[in-house]
Structure 1
Amino acid sequence: MAEITKLPEEVLRIIFKKLDGKSLFRAARVCKFWHQIVYELRLNVKMWSTFCLTEIPMPLLADMTGLVDINDRFLILAGFTTKKDIGDPKIETSRTRTQSPGNENGMFSLLDDNTINIKMDSLVSSRLPWQFWREVYLAYRRTVLISRWPCLRRTVTESSRYGKTTCVKFHGNFLLTGHENGAVFCWVNAGTKLQTYTFLHMHLSTVTALTVIDDSNLKNGKSNIFTVISGSDDRDLHVTMYQSKPLRSACYNQSTAITSISSWGQYFVTGSQESIVHGQWVFHLSSYLKLERHYHLLGHSCSYVRCTAIWENKVVTGDNDGNIYIWELTRTDKPYLLPLVTHTLPGPIQQTLICGDRIVCLANKDILAVSLNGREFYKFSVYSDLYRTPECIKVWGPILAIGLKSGIVAVYHLATDVEWQNIDISKPLQMLHSGQEHIIDISIIDSGLGLSIAFSTDDNSIHLAHWLPGRAQNT
């Protein structure tokens, strides 16, 4: 050890630059001299962005940040064949023949080194400061600390007069809620003495679905401009742009009651009843809150679509008969698209989530089904392991939360495909008790200090759980 400490600072810098994030943080705790070197290295966007791009799986990175252009397609566009190729000097990227993600005609383009550098710099430097990449990386590393950090519990009480909270969704530092009486609100500082809320719009019946489209394509809490889309049993889609206060809103009538909404970038898809006849539309939200229909999805064998999810060019839908449909959004000369793959699970599909190639479904009020490639599903019985019926699920990055009957939320950390393939349902990292009977909806995010989970219960309350270092536990 004494010999290592005698190395020149320039040599230590070269060595430290080759470490991954976890090893670098450990090196910073060796001595004050090393800590100073590591601190200076941290003020470097390329180091933090490299940590994120090499250590965080691309789908998880896109899910955590909301940046739809951080994915494998961007890497291919930049000339990398796989994520492992990042930073590999052996990879030839001077003249790479790739297909552009936004090219609908399937045209190929040749990228030289300057083009690749411009694309990387425009994404990493001009749009996103190094602090952004640092916070993303730290948020990913903090997810595993929920087993050691104390949990601070809070409750939002102002929602009681609006009936049950049927939908909750974090968006940066905001908390969006949909209610039984049709109201949709945006909360700031939810669960604290400084909490305030803004009324966004009102449906004629219970809000059944809620999603957010960020006009800045950045969901890390630094943008206060976003669009809220909600649906309900009244067959209306309400669209409201928020910028410190609602600026303008629009209402679009659907032919059937809306059961679910999912978004990816500026696109979103809705699930509804009577889908055999009407199918599903993939909408694009353009300027001035105008909706454009881009894809028409047909091929359902059941009228009642209970849930739907969209990720990049893939849409996954579950119906009341236990069918799961997977569409691939490709431009064709036909006015409609038929499902690429169809699976059947036992019982109705209650919820469907998608992150990259991974699909997570809650079926038959008991089965948690996970697919890593869209071709086969691994099935887990939640009731047999926890002796409680699952009611809802939520995935954010490597975190899986299962809402259980008896008012409990079970929290798991699943970072790799192997962990997803072999989930031990009986051993959650945390069990959040609300003291109520039902969990209605869940949302997850990192608050900037640690993981935060919001979940609504049947007593009209919204419960908040924050994992913070050095805070006393409050239940």
Structure 2
Amino acid sequence: MEVFISDIPEEIHMFILSRLDGQSLVRAKRTCKMWACLIENLEKFFGIWLMCCLNEIPLFMLTEIMGYNQKKTDHKSLIKSYKQLPWIFWREIYAEYKRAFTIEWAKVKMADLYYDQAHSVVTSLAITDGKLLTGHEDGSVFCWKNVAMEGLDLNLVHKHQRRVTCMAVTTTCTDVSELLSSKCHTLIVTGSQDYGVFVSDMTKPNSTELDYYNLQINSVSCFGPYITSVANGSFVQGQSVWHVSTEGSLTVTQESKLEPPDNYSNPVHVALTEDRVYVVEEKGGLYRWTWNDGIPNKSVVIKNLSCPVKSLICKDDCLVCLLENGELEVTDSKSSYHRKWNIYELLQRQPESMAWRGPLFALGTKGGVVYMYLVKDIEDMKSLDLTKPAAKLTVEADHVNHIAIGDDGSSPLVAIATEQLHLSLFKFIK
């Protein structure tokens, strides 16, 4: 007796289809009309794309792609809040995550973005919501819109008096209700050699001064509406964490001070999370402060690194440090895990910069080469094989000073700043 697929009860079809991963779901939808109809029901009424996102994407990557900062909560409450967002939103989030993996085989389209040479070289770089942000040697901070390489629009965000030394971008949302009520604001925080830390709202014309230090600003970091920075001598002056309100004009509504460690030198890098602040000082000491009802506790030494640090990235409890001696070090702040790679020995190139967004990790080296790696989770980073990049990008320059990773809605984007007076933008075409 012949049995056709249409003879199987729809309930069984629904059960089987609901267990598929996202990519299999897309393929199944193209198989037959019945499955297409059933999958549409799963999409609209059963939140199948939300489940695919939660099951396949690490939470810290998910919130990063979503573009907002998720406060820690239990799994049940998280699903309840996320279900408020429309199903098509989750389908697009999942698609953006999966697009990152196309760098292994996609064609690469490159474009050089030129600007007025009076602004000199790019000293800070970021991509957010399809916009490219650049800080320059002359103190200018620009927003490049339409980075899909067509009809670029350049706007001045802020003008420092001297060289922009650091930049961070954040959205003020920390809850789905804020996302739904359109209360999210994108803030650009910049520091410079003129000793000032300024925050700019991309929807408003003016910038707000957060603080002035006695010496150069080295690093800024954000989590939602919370902002911190470090400067030469800032432990002596008072290491601050600010809460910025976007109601009306930008204002500082709360300020906390970090108690300096017992023995310290100038802090050079900072990373801020919901409940922790990480600081690296110029001699290589790595410190952590934890929060208790908004009040920072005394610092804890996580590790004394072997040498000064070029760059610091914090994802979840994973700290990635690029050292001046050419080593890459990964530290798990919750355990005693540490691992080092000697990049020069592995790649025969001196590392200069790095970036990490979603499942894409980039490592820039002398000679104008950027190595791209796929990192599905923290464990992938801990076991990263630097000799097997997923892609390799090359620019005509001696140095790779800064890298930014993003997505324009149709493909991953990688922006590279060198010593040349232009930017290189790479787009991966399927």
TM superposition score normalised by structure 2: 0.90
Are 1:227 and 1:240, in contact at CA under 8 Å, matched by a contact in 2? Answer: yes
2:68–2:173 CA contact under 8 A, matched in 1: no
User: Within 2, Cα distance between the matches of 1:224 and 1:156?
Assistant: 29
Specify the SS of the correspondent of 2:28: helix
User: Does 2:309 correspond to 1:349?
Assistant: yes
Instruction: Evaluate the alpha carbon distance shift between residue 257 and residue 352 of structure 1 in structure 2; reply closer, same or farther with a 3 A threshold.
Output: same
Task: State the match for 1:183 in structure 2.
Answer: 140
1:239 corresponds to: 199
Q: Does the CA contact (< 8 Å) of 2:328 and 2:343 recur in 1?
A: yes
One-letter amino acid of the counterpart of residue 60, structure 1: M
Residues 1:5 and 1:142: Cα distance change in structure 2 (over 3 Å): farther
Confirm whether residue 273 of structure 1 aligns to residue 232 of structure 2. yes
CA distance in 2, matches of 1:427, 1:34: 39
Equivalent residue, structure 2, for 1:405:
366
Write out aligned runs for 1:376-395 (5 A).
376-395=337-356
Confirm or deny: 8 A CA contact 1:156 1:190 kept in the other structure. Answer: no
- Amino acid of the structure 2 residue aligned with 1:420: M
Corresponding residue for 1:166? 123
Partner in structure 1 of residue 63 of structure 2: 62
Residue type of the partner of 2:244?
L
Aligned to 1:298: 260
C-alpha separation between the residues in 2 aligned to 1:7 and 1:56? 32
Structure-2 change in CA distance of 1:457 and 1:4 (3 Å): same
Aligned residue for 1:113?
A: none
Listed one character per residue, the Cα deviations across residues 117-161 of structure 1 (whole Å, up to 9, x for unaligned) are xx7555432xx3222211111111222221011111112112533
Residue correspondence of structure 1 range 93-132 to structure 2 within 5 A: 120-125=79-84, 128-132=85-89
CA contact (8 A) 1:224 1:242 kept: no
**Superposed CA offset, 1:343-396 (max 9, x none):** 012210111111111111111241111123443311011111111111111111
Change (3 A) 1:240 1:14: same
Find the partner of 1:249 among 187, 193, 207.
Answer: 207
SS at 1:231's partner residue?
strand
CA, structure 1 residues 45+15, in 2 after alignment: closer, same or farther (shift >3 Å)? closer
The 1:263/1:336 distance shift into structure 2, 3 A limit, reads: closer
Structure 2, gaps ≥5 residues long: none
Q: Distance between the aligned counterparts of 1:447 and 1:6, measured in 2?
A: 44
Letter in 2 for 1:238: F
What corresponds to 2:287 in structure 1?
Answer: 325
Over aligned residue pairs, what C-alpha RMSD do you find?
2.6
Aligned residue identity for 2:164: V
Tell me if structure 1 keeps the 8 A contact 2:368–2:399. yes
Q: For residue 465 of structure 1, what is the aligned residue in structure 2?
A: 426
Partner of 1:50: 51
Q: 1:227 aligns with which of 160, 179, 187?
A: 187
The 8 Å contact of residues 168 and 222 in structure 2, kept in 1 or not, is answered as yes
What is the distance in 1 between the residues matched to 2:399 and 2:45? 47
Quote how far apart the aligned CAs of 1:2 are: 6.3
Kindly state the Cα deviation for residue 467 of structure 1 after the two structures are TM-superposed. 1.3
Structure 2 residue matching 1:141: 3-state secondary structure? helix
1:226-282 Cα deviation digits (max 9, x unpaired)? 222111011111222222xx4222223223311111111111111211244235211
Contact 2:173–2:183, Cα closer than 8 Å, also in 1: yes
Amino acid paired to 1:294 = S
Could you give the per-residue CA deviations for residues 66-102 of structure 1, whole angstroms, max 9, x where no partner exists? Answer: 3322x6x2225x4xxxxxxxxxxxxxxxxxxxxxxxx
CA separation of 1:459 and 1:59: change in aligned 2, threshold 3 A:
same
